[in-house]
Amino acid sequence: MKLNIFEHRMNIGQDGRFFNLPDTLFPSLGRAAAIAELLEVACESGSINSFDPDSLQRASQAIRLEIRDAESLIDAYLEETRSSAQVETLAAMVQIGEEDDYKLAELAEANAEGQFVINVTNWANYSLDACGNRYRYTDKATQEILLQFVADSDDEAEEICMDFLRRRGMQAKKKKPD
């Protein structure tokens, strides 16, 4: 079964991302604390023997699972935070890499697996420039360098670009001949 069926347990924005650390964790921890307090007061106000042992066990289980939720959420939150920071760093590396940009872009490409998201609707929005066997794949609108690599031919370069997009789950159309 898909494990994202428990989306209702995630406190996230409409764009599907977390807000901040307190908003991510406090709901689960608050529920765990409330159940613990309920148990505490129930045991204080009556005899512990007046409860069905099963009720106590299940309530304790509910607390444990709420805490596990919080643990999973903080793991996912940290992962998201780390990924975002990494992408920003890598994008900056590609942009500033004027002198030794090939090496920087290669590093970015190696580390940014699955991180770049580009809404590709038209191949013509990009330019693929060559200098010798080095190619540069640039966003025409922002002049941002998205990928630099070595290829033996223009066709191979186009394939590399399309593969770059495909591996990121994006649509890529082959360039139409001018």
Partner 1 sequence: MQHKTNTATLKPDFKHRLSVLGDEPSPRCVADAVNNAANQASSLIIMIQGQFMGPECSDCKLSDEIIYNCLESVYHLVLDMKAIVNAYHNAVQEDSK
Does position 163 interact with partner 1 (CB under 8 A)? The reply is: no
Q: For partner 1, what does the binding mask look like between residues 55 and 84, x meaning CB under 8 A?
A: xxxxx-xx--xx-xx--xx-xx--xx--xx
Q: For partner 1, what does the binding mask look like between residues 121 and 160, x meaning CB under 8 A?
A: ----x-------------x-xx-x-x--------------
Least distance to partner 1, CB of residue 153, Å:
27
Pull the structure tokens for residue 73. 């959420």
Q: What gap in Å lies between CA 92 and CA 166, rounded to an integer?
A: 23
| Of 156, 134, 155, residue with least CA distance to 145 | 134
Q: What gap in Å lies between CA 49 and CA 46, rounded to an integer?
A: 8
Residue type, 47: S
Q: What gap in Å lies between CA 62 and CA 73, rounded to an integer?
A: 16
Q: What is the DSSP letter of 142?
A: T
Site residues (CB under 8 A) for partner 1?
Answer: 1-6, 8-10, 12, 16-18, 27, 30-31, 33-35, 37-39, 41-42, 44-46, 52, 54-59, 61-62, 65-66, 68-69, 72-73, 75-76, 79-80, 83-84, 87-88, 91, 115-119, 125, 139, 141-142, 144, 146
